[in-house]
Each structure stands twice: as structure tokens, then as C-alpha cells.
Amino acid sequence: MRRHLTCLATVLFATAGLIVLSGGTAQAEPVCTAHSPRSGVCLVWVEVPAGPEVEPVDDGPRDTGSGAACYWDPSKQGVTSPPPGPVPCTNDAGYWSNAYNCYIHVLDPQPAPGDPLWQGHSPSEGGQVYECWQPFTDYSVYQWLLTPPAPSGSGPSPRAVAELAIDQMELRAIDIGIAPEPGDDSVGVVGMPVWMWVAVPDQHTFGPVTASASAGGITVTATATVHRIVWDMGDGNQVVCTTKGTPYDASRGGQASPDCGHVYDQTSAGQPNQRFTVTATSDWVIVWEGAGQTGTIRMNGLSRSAQIAVGEAQVLVTS
């Protein structure tokens, strides 16, 4: 038997509007298709729909789930159990509202005019009396509302809210550190080690960075970290580095980088501008948590490029 409360009881209706967003496609990977070469900030993100499930091409986590748009939040009722988590968006008691933390339906028939449930309103005003039933506490609240609350099932998924949090992170491409240095005065040599690293890394270029966002009665916190950087060396080779790399200094001499390096076996002669174009592309992993659910978003495509010259060693012969 349900226990019934009036609108003045513990569960309170609020005039909260729901923001309806297009939910992120489950297991679709956001890819940057246009970015600012100056700042490295992505200008156009495109979500590539997931195809048939295949083995991941790297050792990082998979892109997982969109999460359920409807969830139970025990803190709104001042209880501790059951823990937060997804709930069916509809059942025989009506449709779920995250904002009100209950299933909602219009009373049928409506109370007679003058009934206390009208809270001083009249049927001529156009509103109706609704029942809000909370299944975990088995309480019902009756409330007159001019317009029906929006169902949470039509609102954003937790993943979509996580993407709003990502927008606040201002993720951008790394600043490239490389030896030999780009410029007219620095030339590398075929067969000599090239060093690559993240110059002046910060939370926006390498992470970790955390942000929160709210929409549709859902609050999600997301944390982003670079999982790896793919260096396209311009000679047909790619180098995958899972660290920031080690900055080069003159004391290193001709040693190879301990964690992120390359050796060219050809000169850059014949390349555009007589230089190899080296492009570093960041592969981010974002872990989100909210609405009693968790998930992972993979993002790549934040890139920055530099050009370096590589020549052949010159041998001086003296008699």
C-alpha cells in the first residue's frame, strides 16, 4: 500500500526546467576534423558512429556506454539506500522525472473543485493535479501544476552531460618539443636520434583535468588524461609515445631518447620546403561519473605540426 503525503510533506516539487539535448551515440568516438594551427584547440568535432565491435588497436580502455537518462538520487529524499543508479523511464505509475525523483502521472479523475489538492487553484486555470510516486520510499505527493513536468527519458544521457563537461576543459594539442629544432639554423642528420616531447605540459594539453556539468536533472563529473601521443614523422613512420617524452639537452650528445624518439634513414630533400612535417596527435581518455553510473569517452584528433630538416653527414677529408 502506498503512503500518501500532501504537497507540504517531505518530498518537494520544484520548478526546474529540463534541458533537452541530443544524446551522444553510445560508443561513438568524437574525432576532431578541424583545429586551429595556432592554439591547437579543436574547432569541429564529429562523432563517428561505432561499427561492429572489434578488438581495440591500442592497450587503452574502450569507449563505453551512454548511460541511462533516468536515475534515482537518494539524497533528495534524505535516505542512503538504495544507492544512486538508473531506473526504468516508465512504468505503470507514470514516467520518471529526475528533477522530482519520482514517477509522475495526472490524477484521473481530477479532484472535485475546491478539494485541498487544488491548493487554492481551480480547474478553469488550465492546470492539473499530479501524483508523484517515489517507489523506494513508497510515498506519494500530490501537486497542482500549470504544465506537466518533462519526462527525463527524453532528456540528455549522462554521456551527453559528460560531453558538456569536456567542453569546459579547453583541451588542446600539445606544444611540440623536438630535436633537431624547427627552423633554418638546425639540421638533423640521417642515422642520428631525434627526440620528441611535450613542451611545457599542462592540464589542457596533457591532463589530468576535471570538470563537471549539469543538465536534465543529471550532474556528471569527468576527468581527462592523454593516453598516448601518435607522432607522424613525415617519412611514412609513426611513433606512439605513452609518456610526455624527455626534453633534449646538449649533455645527451648522440644518445637516443629513453622514451620517445625516432631515427630517420633518409634525408628531407625532396619534401615540401625540404623538411619533414612532424605531426603530434593526442589520444585522450575521459572517465565520467554521475547519476550512479560511469563511462569512458575516447577522443583523438587534437594535432599540431612542426617542420624539421634532416641531411646527410658531411665528411671532411684532409691530405
The domain ranges of the chain are 29-68+155-311, 70-154
Q: Give which of 255, 226, 253, 256 is closest to 242, Cα–Cα.
A: 226
Beta bridge partners of 104: 95, 132
What does the mean pLDDT of the chain come to?
84
Three-state SS at 219: strand
Q: Which helix (H) or strand (E) holds 282?
A: strand 276-290
178-229 pLDDT tens trace: 999 998 777 889 999 999 999 999 999 999 999 999 998 899 999 999 999 9
Between 117 and 316, the higher pLDDT residue = 117
Beta bridge partners of 1: none
Q: Specify the length of the chain in residues.
A: 319
Three-state SS at 10: coil
Q: Of 52-56, 116-120, 299-303, which gets the smallest average pLDDT?
A: 52-56
What is the pLDDT at residue 53? 38
- Three cell numbers written together for 180: 633537431
Q: How many CB atoms lie within 10 A of CB 61?
A: 13
Quote the CA–CA distance of 270 and 109 in Å, as a whole number: 83
Quote the CA–CA distance of 116 and 119 in Å, as a whole number: 5
Distances (CA, A) of 103 to 17, 94, 97, 117, 273: 17, 5, 6, 18, 66
61-107 pLDDT tens trace: 899 989 999 999 998 888 888 898 999 999 999 999 998 999 999 99
User: Is the pLDDT score of 10 beyond 60?
Assistant: no
Between 268 and 41, the higher pLDDT residue = 268
Positive/negative CA dihedral, 207, 208, 211, 217: positive
pLDDT band at 113 (very low <50, low <70, confident <90, very high): very high
19-67 pLDDT tens trace: 222 233 334 556 666 555 555 555 555 655 544 433 335 678 899 989 9
Block residue for cell numbers 517531505: 10
Q: In terms of C-beta density within 10 A (0-12 exposed, 13-18 middle, 19 or more buried), how is residue 22 classed?
A: exposed
**DSSP structure class, residue 154:** G
